[in-house]
Chains A and B, each alone.
Chain A
Amino acid sequence: MFAHNGVIILLTLLVALMASIMPLPLSVDAFRPDWVLIVLIYWCMALPARVNIITAWIMGFLLDVLLGSVLGVYAAAMAISVYIVAENFQKIRNFSIWQQALIAGVLAALYHLVVFWLQRFLIDVTFLPSYLYPVITTIVLWPWVFYLLRKVRRHFSIK
């Protein structure tokens, strides 16, 4: 994990975790993008040998602890979403940036729906359309995160 500047991967993931619990005004809070998921999708696509489903599950577990949900809910959703990337990383790499953004959006939607289904199964929550707002911001954010992380990867020559 730590060879070839692997620490940088961990650092980006930690920053993503922090961004996902940072206090925001209530009106913007519903649109908070899925930072951890985006960063995991990028690394899993770029370096599938380094970042895989187990990493995703651990990040999801940390998110569970940070958000105070039932342990294992976010972990499962994160693992399922990243599994799809891990299976198809060679195809996704060849798509254009906007196609990738759409795929990231679909994965974010899946992630939120899995979390909702599990929560629905555990406690009686009702569905509100606002639960899917982060999908929009995730799609918009993908190109920026992609270029930024690619720059980081090339600069530190993470392999």
Chain B
Amino acid sequence: MNPIFKHGPSPQHRLVLVLFCSALLIFFDHKTASFESFRGYLQSMVSPLQYLANTPKQAMTWASENVATRRQLLAENQQYRLNELKFHEQAMQLDIIKQENERLRSLLASPLRGELKKMVAEILSVDSDPYSHQVVINRGAGDGVYDGQPVIDALGIVGQILHVGQTSSRVILITDISHAVPVRVQRNGLRLLATGSGQIDKLNHTFVSQSADIKNGDILVTSGLGGKYPEGYPVSQVSFVSHDESREFMRVFSTPIAQIDRLRYLLLLSNDEPASIFSPTPKALQNKNSSKKAQPATKAKSKTKVVS
């Protein structure tokens, strides 16, 4: 069928119609953030596509893991055994220090820090939109993931959960231009704000006064202010400091410590009682759901500054 005379609305009418729809969507999604639950459904709906798009990469990883030689495996095993020995020794030390710390804290009458629950997640896909830094992980509401949950890798803070679907969810990275983390300098406790710059290897620190004591190479850790990120996880290392007296504030940049550009496995932290590291127990899940219903998490608006 190839009609000479087209029927139906003309292209102009259609364009006006869809642009109007777009404008409405943009307004409601961006300005009023009223689409959060709707986005959850959409995320669940498209997650099969994401899993499917991920299969070639998974097949490659599987292949490269399965064609390893015996010698490679032996060498790796040896390395892991050495590492385990080292970590074991550190863990013993840590236990003692933890006990001591708790005793001191109780002497000072300050609140004890609870153990954080951890869950391992794997990256499904990396966002190809150049304007935002997000990744999709293979855990969703079914695993007890919730909005605003902090995400770390083996080295430091990676970001926080932005949208939760049923089987997958979206993580906003600390380098995203709309994201900020409250940090402090590990050396002297100076408080700063680490804002994403939109570049994968740079964080921006605004409003640092000229008299602040900050040097190249300083490690910045989360300060725990804002209540989203737990205290003390490494975030970034200061890479550039400019003392220009003619400016009102210092210009300070830092490089994230987490390997933002080569993420694979992530850890999701939550404040609940510790559970199995690979999947939460049903009881913990129930608690999670009930507590979620009881007090809706203070959600950061998706695209406005997420100071968490």
Task: Tell whether, in the assembled complex, residue A21 and residue B21 are in contact, meaning their CB atoms are under 8 Å apart.
Answer: no
Interface of chain A: mostly helix, strand, loop or mixed: helix
Complex Cα distance, B15 from A87, in Å, reads 11
In the complex, which residues of chain A have a beta carbon less than 8 angstroms from the beta carbon of B177? 123-125
In the complex, which residues of chain B have a beta carbon less than 8 angstroms from the beta carbon of A122? 26, 30, 303
The CB with the most chain A CB atoms within 10 A, among B24, B127, B170, is that of B127
Pairs A–B under 8 Å by Cβ, sample size 8: A22-B54, A22-B57, A68-B134, A72-B25, A72-B26, A80-B15, A83-B15, A123-B303
Task: Tell whether, in the assembled complex, residue A126 and residue B198 are in contact, meaning their CB atoms are under 8 Å apart.
Answer: yes
Question: Per-residue 0/1 for B159-203: is the Cβ within 8 Å of any A Cβ (1 yes, 0 no)?
Answer: 000110000001000000110000000000000000000101000
In the complex, which residues of chain B have a beta carbon less than 8 angstroms from the beta carbon of A32? 128
Interface-forming stretch among A50-58, A96-104, A139-147, A148-156?
A50-58
In the complex, which residues of chain B have a beta carbon less than 8 angstroms from the beta carbon of A69? 129, 131-132
Task: Tell whether, in the assembled complex, residue A65 and residue B11 are in contact, meaning their CB atoms are under 8 Å apart.
Answer: no
In the complex, which residues of chain A have a beta carbon less than 8 angstroms from the beta carbon of B130? 30, 128, 130-131
In the complex, which residues of chain B have a beta carbon less than 8 angstroms from the beta carbon of A125? 131, 177, 198
A window 104-159: CB within 8 A of B:
115-116, 118-119, 122-126, 128, 130-131, 159
Which A residues form the contact surface with B (CB < 8 A)? 4, 14, 17-24, 26, 29-30, 32, 48-49, 52-54, 57, 61-62, 65-73, 75-76, 79-80, 83, 86-87, 115-116, 118-119, 122-126, 128, 130-131, 159
Q: Which residue of A has the minimal Cβ distance to B11?
A: A86
- Chain B, interface size category, equals 35 or more
Task: Tell whether, in the assembled complex, residue A72 and residue B129 are in contact, meaning their CB atoms are under 8 Å apart.
Answer: no
Task: Tell whether, in the assembled complex, residue B21 and residue A66 are in contact, meaning their CB atoms are under 8 Å apart.
Answer: no
Task: Tell whether, in the assembled complex, residue A83 and residue B11 are in contact, meaning their CB atoms are under 8 Å apart.
Answer: yes
Complex Cα distance, B127 from A73, in Å, reads 15
In the complex, which residues of chain B have a beta carbon less than 8 angstroms from the beta carbon of A124? 177
Complex Cα distance, B46 from A23, in Å, reads 16
Task: Tell whether, in the assembled complex, residue A54 and residue B132 are in contact, meaning their CB atoms are under 8 Å apart.
Answer: no
**A49 contact from B6, B21, B25, B53, Cβ within 8 A:** B6
Known: A23-B57, A52-B14, A53-B15. A68 touches B132 (CB 8 A): yes
Task: Tell whether, in the assembled complex, residue B54 and residue A23 are in contact, meaning their CB atoms are under 8 Å apart.
Answer: yes
**What are the 5 tightest A-B residue pairs by CB atom distance, in nearest-first order?**
A72-B25, A76-B22, A72-B22, A57-B18, A67-B129
Task: Tell whether, in the assembled complex, residue A26 and residue B22 are in contact, meaning their CB atoms are under 8 Å apart.
Answer: no
Closest Cβ of chain B: how far from A152's Cβ, in Å? 18
Q: Which residue of B has the minimal Cβ distance to A14?
A: B49
Known: A22-B56, A54-B18. A65 touches B26 (CB 8 A): no
Known: A17-B49, A22-B125. A79 touches B22 (CB 8 A): yes
Q: Does chain A have a CB within 8 A of B210?
A: no
Q: Does chain A have a CB within 8 A of B126?
A: yes
Complex Cα distance, B19 from A119, in Å, reads 16
In the complex, which residues of chain B have a beta carbon less than 8 angstroms from the beta carbon of A49? 1-3, 6
Q: Which residue of B has the minimal Cβ distance to A72?
A: B25
Q: Does chain A have a CB within 8 A of B109?
A: no
